[in-house]
Amino acid sequence: MRVKSTLKQVLDERKLSISKCAEMCSLPKETVRRMYNDTTMQYQRDTLGTLCKVLNVSISDILALEEKKDDGQ
């Protein structure tokens, strides 16, 4: 199992850009970009809390568990 960011779907549904989300949340654009592209290696509690509060979502709306693929990913 691995944790997968589903922030892209949330922002796309709301027609929010990475830049706008970062601005709304007072987070570095690069932090939001990494979550959007699902390349974040570690999820900071404060970042997740801020995203959930500002976007009015729960953690399960922006993170999901996914089966690992056979190629080791």
* pLDDT score of 45: 95
* pLDDT score of 22: 97
* pLDDT score of 56: 97
- In tens digits, the chain (73 residues) has pLDDT values of 889 999 999 999 999 999 999 999 999 999 999 999 999 999 999 999 999 999 999 999 999 998 877 665 5
* pLDDT score of 55: 97
Number of neighbouring beta carbons within 10 Å of residue 42: 6
* pLDDT score of 71: 61
- What are the C-alpha distances in Å from 7 to residues 30, 34, 46, 52, 70? 14, 10, 16, 10, 24
Q: Which domains does the chain have, with CATH numbers?
A: 2-66 (1.10.260.40)
